[in-house]
Amino acid sequence: MAPLPVPFWLLGWHLAAPSAWAGAGGRAHGVLPHGLGPTVVTPSSLLSVRANLIPSPPTFNSDYGYISWEAYANVSYYTRVLPPVPDNCPTPMGTKGKRQLPDPQLLAERFLLRQKFEADPRGTNLMFAFFAQHFTHQFFKTSGKMGRGFTKALGHGVDLGHLYGDNLQRQHQLRLFQDGKLKFQVVDGEVYPPMVTHAPVHMVYPSAVPKEKQLAMGQEVFGLLPGLCMYSTLWLREHNRVCDILKQEHPTWSDEQLFQTARLILIDAGAALCLTHVPACVLTLQIGGTQTINANVLQVAIGVIKESRQLRLQPFNEYRKRFGMKPYKSFQELTGEEEKAAELEELYGDIDALEFYPGLLLEKPQPNGIFGESMVEIGAPFSLKGLFGNPICSPEYWKPSTFGGETGFEIVKTASLEKLVCLNVKKCPYVAFHVPDALENGSPWGDGPSTEL
């Protein structure tokens, strides 16, 4: 069978074939898109095997621990691969462990709080952290009103809802309706997102910030952190830049067609950046087995522990089994040391009662790695399923005409972090996901993704 076209960034992940897309098809929600049926089946690759660990159609959610139509059809839910621990179990984690789980504050302060600053030996920088935060907030949008088991991001995947808004009304408020472009403002000769007074969308800002000083962006919370505003500004400039190129190629196109085609180009570029730069970066982040949470965000970690209890997440070892790994037999085996292991044993009573999130963070790093095994083995299948399930990975979409012809296709095929920045700022700065001297320090980044920039 002749090879079918697939996005280069899937090929960049070496093993991918159309089967990767096909294997990922299917209706799913949470972070996953829906409505994509498998059409092509060729020999499976490691990637599609990984992606296939995530079921489609989806199975459970926080209210349905059994197969149900509601769990399939109500796409406001985050889907779950394991059902919640039933309410009437003898212990909070099922049958194992103590009747009372450890105090979340105590857990966070004793085991997660950073004791001293340790530079990431691989030199990963804030540009990466903000990229990850910006990117993931397009599909992780937990609903405050409906509860922690629900998402507001009904696009369920890489749709750039964080740039264009997650519903049509918001999108229309953000659009200029001229040449496909998004609204913008010019400050000191440079383009920025418009103010809320010009693009009236709801934004979350501290109450002291008046409307005239609130930037209007696709995602409600992006005004809260400078790095998120920075990426929003870059993507907005990129959208309008691509519109200019498309307009030159297709002078007769309507505003709508220019907008929609530019959006597809940017969705692909976003996915490409994520897949070509992020995996290696993620694998270099220092998390597993060490205490790295800054005091300023410790409350977030405490909140995560509390919410995972409300959601009745199954024990860490159950998730390990679900993703094909051996359950840990002891806390010593988990942490690779004695002291913290003994304290955890005292608190939880049984390794099979250890909670999911502390388990992920306390697991010893892999040899030559910095993450624990579970972070990658459980995290990667979700990411791959979400990306492969995107329609742009289908042979029907992955062709020049989808992107307005060869020029647009070339933009998606050559997308990079450096281009995103340097084509949209006056003076091209240092652009990378690692600090400049990381290379001199013998970092693996020396021959990693950054050099392709």
Among the listed residues 264, 227, 182, 241, the one whose alpha carbon sits nearest the alpha carbon of residue 422: 241
| d(C-alpha 209, C-alpha 198), whole Å | 16
Tell whether residue 379 is a contact of ligand HEM (CB under 6 A): no
| d(C-alpha 33, C-alpha 24), whole Å | 10
| d(C-alpha 205, C-alpha 215), whole Å | 9
- Determine contact, residues 97/408, Cβ cutoff 8 Å: no
- Determine contact, residues 185/198, Cβ cutoff 8 Å: yes
Among the listed residues 105, 416, 111, the one whose alpha carbon sits nearest the alpha carbon of residue 272: 416
Q: What one-character DSSP code corresponds to residue 111?
A: I
Binding window for ligand HEM (CB under 6 A); candidates: 12-20, 98-106, 257-265, 296-304:
296-304
Tell whether residue 280 is a contact of ligand HEM (CB under 6 A): no
| d(C-alpha 325, C-alpha 334), whole Å | 13
Tell whether residue 230 is a contact of ligand HEM (CB under 6 A): no
Binding window for ligand HEM (CB under 6 A); candidates: 111-119, 200-208, 280-288, 295-303:
295-303
Residue 116 Cα distances to 197, 221, 420, angstroms: 44, 30, 35
- Min dist CB 336 to ligand HEM, Å, is 25
- Determine contact, residues 182/159, Cβ cutoff 8 Å: no
- Is 309 annotated in some ligand binding site? no
Tell whether residue 146 is a contact of ligand HEM (CB under 6 A): no
Written as one letter, the residue type at 21 is W
Q: Which 32-91 residues touch ligand HEM, going by CB under 6 A? A: none
Applying CB under 6 A, the site for ligand HEM has a residue count of 12
- Min dist CB 300 to ligand HEM, Å, is 5
Instruction: Work out which of 8, 140, 205, 382 binds ligand HEM, going by CB under 6 A.
Output: 140
Q: Which residue has the tokens 């250890």?
A: 354
Instruction: Work out which of 41, 300, 342, 428 binds ligand HEM, going by CB under 6 A.
Output: 300
For residue 371, give both structure tokens. 């993450």
Could you give the count of Cα atoms lying within 13 Å of 262 in the half-sphere of its Cβ?
30
- The smaller minimum CB distance to ligand HEM, of residues 140 and 192, is found at 140
Instruction: Work out which of 141, 175, 320, 434 binds ligand HEM, going by CB under 6 A.
Output: 141
Peptide bond into 194 cis (omega under 30): no
- Phi and psi of 80, rounded to 5°? -135, 140
Binding window for ligand HEM (CB under 6 A); candidates: 7-15, 232-240, 297-305, 328-336:
297-305
Tell whether residue 29 is a contact of ligand HEM (CB under 6 A): no
Cβ count near 181 (within 10 Å) = 21
- Min dist CB 97 to ligand HEM, Å, is 24
For residue 3, give both structure tokens. 């090879």
Tell whether residue 142 is a contact of ligand HEM (CB under 6 A): yes
Binding window for ligand HEM (CB under 6 A); candidates: 111-119, 125-133, 162-170, 332-340:
125-133
- Min dist CB 363 to ligand HEM, Å, is 18
- The smaller minimum CB distance to ligand HEM, of residues 80 and 141, is found at 141
- Sequence length of the chain is 453
Instruction: Work out which of 119, 297, 342, 428 binds ligand HEM, going by CB under 6 A.
Output: 297
- The smaller minimum CB distance to ligand HEM, of residues 78 and 164, is found at 78
Tell whether residue 303 is a contact of ligand HEM (CB under 6 A): yes
Binding window for ligand HEM (CB under 6 A); candidates: 104-112, 136-144, 264-272, 388-396:
136-144
- The smaller minimum CB distance to ligand HEM, of residues 162 and 320, is found at 162
Residue 104 Cα distances to 160, 249, 281, 439, angstroms: 34, 57, 29, 39
Binding-site residue positions: 50
Site residues (vs ligand HEM, CB under 6 A): 129, 132-133, 136, 140-142, 225, 297, 300, 303, 307
Binding-site residue positions for substrate: 50
